[in-house]
Structure 1
């Protein structure tokens, strides 16, 4: 009976951690792409559908949400197994294994939350990159952030590189 009193709170805490790790992630591109110059909206929509499928397949056929869930469950399962083994080794009985499994589940779930977030972010980023490449190759425009100007060449003095000291030897001749 004592085991049941201990495992119930552990299960509730682990469940709360797992639910806390659940987030709603986009299953569509999270970047903006505009129709190419002179291209119709119908052409853009057809290319958009094709490039979404292309990015999905290139990403292994899984969404960012699926990658996050898989990562969280894997971390919790590994933590539970390691905790049970450690608990059995330390306690030497079934009660020690149960306590270790509960502690492992808690730690695995906590670690799983961060790995799930990281996995989801990476998967979404790969999807977005593949989508952008596909849409760009179809002739559509991809806005770039920031103040990027390529109108004049960059000089060493513009980026803070000091000139060589006076009297220094000339550079070696080209080969």
Structure 2
């Protein structure tokens, strides 16, 4: 296996592992309680509906995090290969090392960018979930539950 093939396979492995780290929020990270007197079965049904609503609200943000991480890793590997060739004055012996260092740096930057987008997606998910649960009359942190019968109409 030649050096270029190894670099390509290593880049693909890093991008694949980076992609595996990025995921959409799987649930809320905030506590919501049913209002007094609400049957738990009704609360569970509302929870399911609001989780679906929140998941749909952040679908685009989660996809953007995945794309940004993969793109950063690919660009980093390409720039690293070019830097390796330039530093060695055209000697191709260390192009692989430059590509490897660039790939790792690009993957690290991609991971940081993805983590930021993932945090943003979780925050948006929580807000959408809280809004939905609040509109159904549940108790949301920092907000008093609406009086029974005074929900959105």
Pairing partner for 1:102 from 96, 100, 118: 100
Hey, what's the Cα distance between the residues in 2 that align with 1:99 and 1:133?
Answer: 51
Q: State the partner residue of 1:111.
A: 109
Indicate whether 1:78 and 2:114 are aligned.
no
Deviation at 1:47, TM superposition (A): 1.3
Hey, what's the Cα distance between the residues in 2 that align with 1:62 and 1:113?
Answer: 15
Deviation at 1:57, TM superposition (A): 0.8
- SS in structure 2 of the partner of residue 100 of structure 1: helix
- SS in structure 1 of the partner of residue 35 of structure 2: coil
Determine if contact 2:82/2:95 at 8 Å carries over to the other structure.
yes
RCO higher in 1 or 2 (8 Å CA, sep ≥ 6)?
A: 2
Which is helix-richer, 1 or 2?
2
Hey, what's the Cα distance between the residues in 1 that align with 2:56 and 2:22?
Answer: 23
- SS in structure 1 of the partner of residue 59 of structure 2: coil
Give the paired residue count. Answer: 135
Indicate whether 1:33 and 2:32 are aligned.
yes
Indicate whether 1:129 and 2:127 are aligned.
yes
Q: TM-score, normalised by structure 1?
A: 0.59
Q: TM-score, normalised by structure 2?
A: 0.66
Hey, what's the Cα distance between the residues in 1 that align with 2:75 and 2:121?
Answer: 22
Determine if contact 1:67/1:123 at 8 Å carries over to the other structure.
no
Determine if contact 1:3/1:95 at 8 Å carries over to the other structure.
no
